């Protein structure tokens, strides 16, 4: 094998090893960990950020129910509760509760339909049902649908 | 030389063909497998939407909601309508998931978190509870089932001189307070049934109750002057503090066991999620202390491992 071929092979192996190493680090979240939390975020939970705005809102809610000013422990407790809520939301998504839980399913469908209704009204469509039907037709046309498991 | 070259080329070609076949299998394998299973007539699936199955169970739920009939009892038109509705719902749900609505919409987040909590606690509640577990729980936490001492009291509150005189005459004749109260047409001061000491405090105040606790059954007190009148009290029944037997309160024990177990299951799951998560904050935070009970942990440990 020529020297240039050997050098090319070595460079290729080095690049592959570097790529694998970086991929492994990214998979383990080291890259994420090394990034500092932006100031407009109160926390990060598995790549999802909890906004400072939401944290301050939650603090405000707690303060309105208290006679005395919020303590440092109160602030930590509120942040912990927001983190716990995020963990539960992520757990629910992983368990596919969006489909499996009737209340979540119903709430999500209502939210989507309400959003479509708002869009239809914003577009000054007289009959907002047409907006929904058009949207559903679009979704059906772009989906792979098999009835009874058969195409 | 030519023969060896030909053999080498043939080998390369064969290797290339096998590699391509392997690549094709890897790319299409999942699809083939699913098509095989559906072509075998998977009767638990009424439709597939972007490979997401819509089950007979979903169809049954919708059919019962719309027509109060199970799916397999519907007419062809009704089935078609039901399937179309479910397909549309699945398309909308998939769209919602793609838009991350459940993570961004505050109302949906609350619903999702509540659903997650329900699933965790229901998983615990579905685990069977043995008699042995309940008995161990009862032996360890029996004090929470103690019934406190209770006393049934008749009380007279006399505000006028004439009623006081009449009451004293009837007492001297040996009449009980119930009789005197009816004779003088007095309003009852408190319910006649067995009441706990704190309940008696609420009706009569601390000073009267301290006298009541010294009385024996059917004993009538000396006249007790308070700001709102002259009182006579009589103990009509006493129930001592006791711990009911296991058999008489088995349902209450089970309810308390499950109540605590639900809280522990949720706490354990949250701790597990917290430990497995990558959490970054500007200030140090920690998950709430783990609720534990050595008697319940053996049950929730199974749930926590799911």
Q: What is the 3-state secondary structure (H, E, C) of chain B?
A: CHHHHHHHHHHHHHHHHHHHHHHHHHHHHHHHHHHHHHHCCCCCEEEEECCEEEEHHHHHHHHHHHHCCCHHHCCHHHHHHHHHHHHHHHHHHHHHHHCCHHHHCHHHHHHHHHHHHHHHHHHHHCCCCCHHHHHHHHHHCHHHHCECCEEEEEEEEECCHHHHHHHHHHHHCCCCHHHHHHHCCCCCCCCCCCEEHHHHHHHHCHHHHHHHCCCCCCCECCCEEECCEEEEEEEEEEECCECCCCCCCHHHHHHHHHHHHHHHHHHHHHHHHHHHCCEEECCCCCCCCCCCCCCCHHHHHHHHCC
Q: Which residue among A45, A107, A146 places its CB closest to the CB of B108?
A: A107
**A-chain residue closest to B38, CA distance:** A149
Q: Are B278 and A144 in contact (CB < 8 Å)?
A: no
| CA-based nearest distance B279→chain A, Å | 5
Q: Please check whether residues A26 and A85 belong to one and the same domain.
A: yes
Q: Is the CB of B118 inside 8 Å of chain A's CB atoms?
A: yes
Domain B45-99, CATH class in plain words: mainly alpha
Q: Please check whether residues A77 and A21 belong to one and the same domain.
A: yes
Q: Please check whether residues A108 and A57 belong to one and the same domain.
A: no
Domain assignment present for residue A1? The answer is no
Q: Where are the domains of chain B?
A: 1-42, 45-99, 147-239, 245-304
Question: Of A47, A149, A150, A151, which to mutate for an interface test with B (greatest number of B Cβ within 10 Å)?
Answer: A149
Output phi, psi for B99, to 5 deg: -85, 0
pTM beyond 0.90: the answer is no
**A-chain residue closest to B80, CA distance:** A147
Which of A94, A109, A128 is the endpoint of a domain?
A94
Q: Please check whether residues A86 and A105 belong to one and the same domain.
A: no
∠ CA B192-B197-B201 to the nearest 5 degrees?
Answer: 85
Q: Are B115 and A136 in contact (CB < 8 Å)?
A: no
| CA-based nearest distance B178→chain A, Å | 49
Expressed as residue numbers, the domain containing A120 is 96-142
Domain assignment present for residue A115? The answer is yes
Number of domains, chain A:
2
Q: In this structure, what DSSP letter does residue A143 have?
A: S
Q: Is the CB of A25 inside 8 Å of chain B's CB atoms?
A: no
Q: Is the CB of A117 inside 8 Å of chain B's CB atoms?
A: no
Per-residue pLDDT of chain A (151 residues; tens, 9 = 90+): 567 788 888 888 888 888 887 777 666 555 544 468 888 999 999 989 999 999 999 999 999 999 999 999 999 999 999 999 999 999 999 999 999 999 999 999 998 888 777 666 666 555 545 677 888 888 888 888 888 754 4
Task: Extract the residue ranges of chain B whose pLDDT is less than 70.
Answer: 1-4, 27-43, 288-306
Domain assignment present for residue A125? The answer is yes
SS3 state of residue A125: coil
Q: Please check whether residues A87 and A101 belong to one and the same domain.
A: no
| CA-based nearest distance A6→chain B, Å | 22
The pLDDT tens digits for A34-67 are: 468 888 999 999 989 999 999 999 999 999 999 9
Q: Please check whether residues A47 and A110 belong to one and the same domain.
A: no
Q: Are A87 and B274 in contact (CB < 8 Å)?
A: yes
Instruction: Report how far residue A145's alpha carbon sits from residue B101's, in angstroms, rounded to the nearest whole number.
Output: 23
| CA-based nearest distance A58→chain B, Å | 12
Predicted ipTM > 0.90: no
Q: Please check whether residues A103 and A128 belong to one and the same domain.
A: yes
Residues of A in contact with B269 (CB under 8 A): 91
Q: Is the CB of A79 inside 8 Å of chain B's CB atoms?
A: yes
- Identify the pLDDT of residue A25: 66
Q: Please check whether residues A83 and A44 belong to one and the same domain.
A: yes
> What would the two tokens of residue B200 be?
């008696």
Q: Please check whether residues A83 and A67 belong to one and the same domain.
A: yes
Q: Which residue among A37, A139, A144 places its CB closest to the CB of B280?
A: A37
Under 8 Å between Cβ of A75 and A59:
yes
- The domain B147-239: what is its CATH number? 3.10.50.40
| CA-based nearest distance B45→chain A, Å | 6
Q: Please check whether residues A82 and A22 belong to one and the same domain.
A: yes
């Amino acid at each position: 094998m020529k020297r240039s071929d050997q050098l090319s092979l070595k460079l290729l192996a080095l690049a592959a090893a570097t790529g694998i190493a970086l991929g492994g680090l990214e998979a383990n979240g080291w890259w994420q960990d090394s990034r500092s939390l932006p100031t407009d975020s109160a926390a990060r939970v598995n790549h999802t950020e909890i906004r400072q705005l939401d944290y301050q809102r939650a603090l405000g809610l707690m303060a309105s129910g208290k006679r005395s000013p919020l303590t440092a422990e109160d602030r930590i407790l509120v942040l912990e509760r927001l983190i716990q809520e995020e963990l539960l939301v992520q757990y629910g998504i992983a368990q596919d509760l969006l489909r499996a839980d009737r209340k979540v399913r119903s709430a999500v469908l209502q939210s989507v339909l309400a959003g479509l209704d708002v869009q239809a009204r914003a577009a000054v469509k007289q009959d907002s049902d047409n907006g929904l039907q058009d949207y559903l037709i679009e979704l059906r046309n772009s989906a792979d649908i098999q009835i009874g498991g058969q195409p | 030389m030519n023969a060896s070259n030909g053999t080498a080329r043939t080998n390369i070609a064969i290797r290339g063909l096998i590699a391509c076949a392997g690549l094709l299998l890897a790319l299409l394998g999942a699809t083939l497998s699913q098509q095989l299973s559906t072509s075998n007539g998977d009767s638990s699936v009424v439709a597939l939407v972007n490979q997401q199955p819509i089950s007979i169970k979903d169809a049954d739920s919708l059919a019962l909601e719309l027509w109060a009939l199970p799916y397999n009892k519907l007419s062809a038109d009704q089935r078609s309508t039901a399937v179309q509705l479910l397909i549309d719902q699945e398309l909308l749900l998939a769209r919602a998931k793609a838009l991350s609505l459940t993570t961004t919409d505050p109302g949906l987040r609350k619903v999702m978190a509540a659903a997650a909590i329900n699933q965790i606690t229901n998983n615990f509640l579905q685990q069977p509870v043995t008699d042995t577990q309940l008995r161990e729980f009862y032996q360890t936490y029996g004090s929470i089932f103690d019934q406190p001492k209770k006393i049934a009291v008749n009380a007279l509150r006399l505000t006028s001189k004439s009623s006081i005189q009449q009451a004293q005459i009837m007492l001297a004749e040996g009449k009980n307070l119930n009789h005197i109260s009816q004779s003088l047409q007095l309003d009852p001061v408190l319910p006649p049934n067995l009441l706990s000491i704190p309940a008696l405090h609420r009706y009569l105040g601390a000073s009267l109750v301290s006298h009541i606790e010294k009385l024996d059954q059917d004993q009538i007190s000396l006249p007790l002057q308070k700001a709102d009148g002259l009182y006579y009290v009589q103990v009509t029944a006493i129930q001592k503090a006791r711990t009911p037997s296991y058999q008489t309160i088995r349902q209450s024990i089970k309810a308390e066991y499950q109540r605590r177990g639900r809280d522990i299951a949720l706490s354990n799951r949250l701790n597990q999620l917290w430990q497995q998560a990558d959490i970054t904050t500007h200030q140090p935070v920690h998950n709430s202390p783990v609720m534990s009970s050595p008697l319940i942990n053996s049950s929730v440990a199974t749930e926590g491992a799911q």
